[in-house]
Amino acid sequence: MGIILWIIFGGLVGWVASLIMKTEGQGILLDIVVGIVGAVLGGWLMSLFGQGAVTGFNLYSFLVAILGAVVLIAIIKALRRV
């Protein structure tokens, strides 16, 4: 994907993940970062299970990225509690 699509994809994924994890109000830049890092993390997690990673702007990639972003937010929340 091109850089513009990664930014849009990351923003959407980060926003949805923040809604799921109830961390609204973190801003568009943090949503983009969480979405992009979540997509990478989700792709890595899915490769551990023998599945494909994020391959483009499609539903499967969106779900994988949301999974990774939710895991990332959960890890960050756990580290903030310590």
pLDDT tens column, 20-75: 998 877 788 988 899 999 989 998 988 888 887 777 778 888 999 999 999 999 99
3-state secondary structure of 76: helix
What's the pLDDT band for 1 if we cut at 50, 70, 90? low
pTM: 0.86
Distant-in-sequence contacts of 23-27, Cβ < 8 A, 24+ apart: 23/73, 23/77
Enumerate the H helices of 21-81 as residue ranges. Answer: 28-48, 59-81
> Largest Cα–Cα distance in the chain?
38
The predicted model gives 12-21 an average pLDDT of: 92
